[in-house]
Structure 1
Amino acid sequence: MSELHVMSTQQSPSIPLSAGTGTGKPLSVTKVRKTYGVMTAVDEISMEIGAGEFVTFLGSSGSGKTTTLMMIAGFVEPDSGSIVVGGRDVTRLAPQKRGLGFVFQQYLLFPHMTVGENIAFPLQLRGVPKAEIRRRVGETLEIAGLAGFARRRPRELSGGQQQRVALCRALVYRPPVILMDEPLGALDKKLRDQLQTEIKRIQQELGLTVIYVTHDQEEALVLSDRIAVMRDGRIDQFDTPRELFERPCTPFVADFLGAANFLPGKVEDSTAEHVVVRLDTGGVLRARAQDVTAGTRVRVAVQPGRLTPVAPEAGFCTGIVESVTYVGTLVRVTVLPEGGTSSTVVRLEVPAGRAPYVGDRIGLSADPGDVSVFAAGTEG
């Protein structure tokens, strides 16, 4: 597997480490489909990824994110569709002929080689002169914050350092696209947070095009320029982190990216400026303008962090606080709305110093711009 990793990332040594990104579309995926027997793993997805973009495939297990990445890398052959990198159709090319970098969750370092030798190995396969190899390895280690580590063995490094070495090996010859398959999944949270910062810094400093796979919503929001939220082999929404969080196109996206609260109701008024919804609990909630008409049964979605506890008479909903959970700088609160069913619970997150107490009767308020409205029965 280690040899496969190195070979799959071969690229002409004439491309300098500090090469610019250009302004074109280095990657185009068009109606790519993959099935396994009667199961459809990826269902005709399409996307355009620009030079220098950090794009994340986000989804739960079985959503198709890793299969899509593997088809781009060449490890899985699609049933139909096309994959174009830098204007070249690579759909049927072997991995080693695509010139893409790949970083796995497992570090896949050669244990008998030093750090410098691990990073140099793909350049040696390409016959790069020794002096040029030394220059590139040194430059890459410097960029990754590993200067002085060239003579160490992988077993002498921490998990985070080993993952950075694997990243160095993938970018030492500056491939047009670097693919990362949950590279931080095996690390603890503190180390993941540190490496997220490092990966983003390196990507921006070098202008790299990165496609990243994760099931961690926070990680996707922190790293990405755009996120493809995947479900059942399809892309539900492909957008910036802010648009996904604040303007979800489907209930699934609203729930997956922030565990939104959903409250049923009926549209009382819909204009170019706003939507007014009469909730089943009896309150009235105002939302930003959306494509729904008066009389439509809907579900409104509000993220827990966008709800504010207020006086009972000042909110769109009144309820009794059922639980208060301290999680550091935030407190998670659950409220049982008056007029709702026993299964209707609203969750909110508030600063630790402003949390209500269990048993308090409070109102809930939200800015109209933070409220999404979906027609009842909308998939997801």
Structure 2
Amino acid sequence: MADFKVAVPSVGQAGGKPSATATGKALSVVALRKTYGDVVAVDEASMEIAAGEFVTFLGSSGSGKTTTLMMIAGFCEPDSGTITVGGSDVTRLAPQKRNLGFVFQQYLLFPHMTVHENVAFPLQLRGVGKSEIRRRVGETLEIAGLSKFAGRRPRELSGGQQQRVALCRALVYRPPVILMDEPLGALDKKLRDQLQIEIKTIQQELGLTVIYVTHDQEEALVLSDRIAVMRNGLIEQFDTPRELFERPKSPFVADFLGAANFLAGRIEQHTDQHTLVRLEECGGLLTARHHDLATGVAVKVAVQPGRLSVCAPGEGFCGGTVETATYVGTIVRAGVRVEGGDAPLLRLEVPAGRGPVTGERVDVSVDPEDVNLFTVEQGG
């Protein structure tokens, strides 16, 4: 399958970057709320998205991510709040008057039309002249590596090619914002991984503003400039992928983004650079980066599986026995049963060449910078 060929800046901006008029806020959402009877689907969601930014709404089913996207698109009317696109209030406008691009999980291509005709359709609806339609469609298909398929019908294309046609149809009329609702969800993993790279490449080169919905954490981390993690209609945290993964602001975000290990403990003391936590289950002393928490405060320690390491007995913050060890290509996923009381099973992801074996006695260590602490009041 051909890759995207990003070489035609006239479809986006000169040189593939946003122009001066495109800088600043592309979209603003303020206190957006939607209820269905007694169920609050979206609860006072607010955010500002910059021109040229790739933002993902990430969450499980029922989190409110798709409802938020549908309100932005105009397919769902909010109970309250405002939606502004390019400085204009579009909250009560019909979808076709918002001039936004939309790519669905279902490709929704017209089966009786060719690829060229499918991509041209939005321009025809807008009354664009025939010669201009030919030029824009040709440029857009060239970007997507689909020029040689222009005369084919959707049934003659692979799933990945059909999805690229759907993307071209959203790109061709140069919308200020493109909305994508789990567009890769129906594809197999290898093809999905390939298209993630292609979508990110074209978005960056053309300076497109994209709002993307997915429940796939890895997909969100790969594609996004910022991610809005949603739960029960609320935005738990809106931040860069690195901040979300390494500095989550709640136990929920730590668990949802990386399936963190959690240990109970209390703040024992502080040094200039570190905070020492006495763990309840095993009695070990764990060193974390400095946190402004009072001595004696009960905390929940969160550490991602990939940030834990096995070490010789006596060198870690706790010890235990390897209960499970699963080879997964480049890594081994291990479960270490920590010694002491009702100690949990610590999940580790370590390089396959240095992976522990079932039944082995090991200690577990972690870099202080990779430890996040939450107070009990912060909940899950």
Could you say which residue in structure 2 is the equivalent of 1:155? 155
Displacement, 1:81?
0.5
Alignment of 1:185-204 (within 5 A): 185-204=185-204
Could you say which residue in structure 1 is the equivalent of 2:358? 358
Displacement, 1:349?
0.3
Displacement, 1:270?
3.4
Output the CA distance in 2 between the equivalents of 1:260 and 1:197: 27
Could you say which residue in structure 1 is the equivalent of 2:12? 18
Higher mean Cα deviation, 166-175 or 263-272? 263-272
Displacement, 1:24?
1.1
What secondary structure sits across from 1:184 in the alignment? coil
2:320 partner amino acid: G
Could you say which residue in structure 2 is the equivalent of 1:5? none
Output the CA distance in 2 between the equivalents of 1:52 and 1:249: 26
Is residue 2:66 matched to residue 1:72? Answer: no
Could you say which residue in structure 2 is the equivalent of 1:219? 219
Output the CA distance in 1 between the equivalents of 2:223 and 2:274: 33
Output the CA distance in 2 between the equivalents of 1:169 and 1:112: 16
Could you say which residue in structure 2 is the equivalent of 1:264? 264
Could you say which residue in structure 1 is the equivalent of 2:338? 337
1:335 partner amino acid: V
Tell me the percent identity: 75
1:2-37 CA distance string (max 9 Å, x none): xxxxxxxxxxxxx95223352210100000000000
Residue ranges of structure 1 left out of the alignment (5+ in a row): 1-14
Could you say which residue in structure 1 is the equivalent of 2:236? 236
Output the CA distance in 2 between the equivalents of 1:269 and 1:45: 39
Could you say which residue in structure 2 is the equivalent of 1:373? 373
Could you say which residue in structure 2 is the equivalent of 1:328? 329
Displacement, 1:377?
4.0
Alignment of 1:140-179 (within 5 A): 140-179=140-179
Could you say which residue in structure 1 is the equivalent of 2:134? 134
1:354 partner amino acid: R
The verdict on how the C-alpha distance between 1:81 and 1:271 changes in structure 2, with shifts beyond 3 A counting, is farther
What secondary structure sits across from 1:111 in the alignment? coil
Output the CA distance in 1 between the equivalents of 2:337 and 2:118: 57
Which contiguous aligned blocks of 4+ residues in structure 1 show a shift greater than 3 angstroms? none
1:128-151 CA distance string (max 9 Å, x none): 111111111111011112121100
Aligned residues: 365
Is residue 2:312 matched to residue 1:311? Answer: yes
Output the CA distance in 2 between the equivalents of 1:207 and 1:105: 23
Output the CA distance in 2 between the equivalents of 1:273 and 1:54: 35
The verdict on how the C-alpha distance between 1:159 and 1:212 changes in structure 2, with shifts beyond 3 A counting, is same
What secondary structure sits across from 2:350 in the alignment? strand
Higher mean Cα deviation, 57-66 or 289-298? 289-298
Please tell me the root mean square deviation across aligned C-alpha atoms, in Å.
1.2
What secondary structure sits across from 1:313 in the alignment? coil
What secondary structure sits across from 2:187 in the alignment? coil
Displacement, 1:327?
1.0
- Contact 2:12–2:208, Cα closer than 8 Å, also in 1: no
Q: Give TM-score scaled by structure 1 length.
A: 0.94
Q: Give TM-score scaled by structure 2 length.
A: 0.94
Displacement, 1:369?
0.5
Residue ranges of structure 2 left out of the alignment (5+ in a row): 1-8
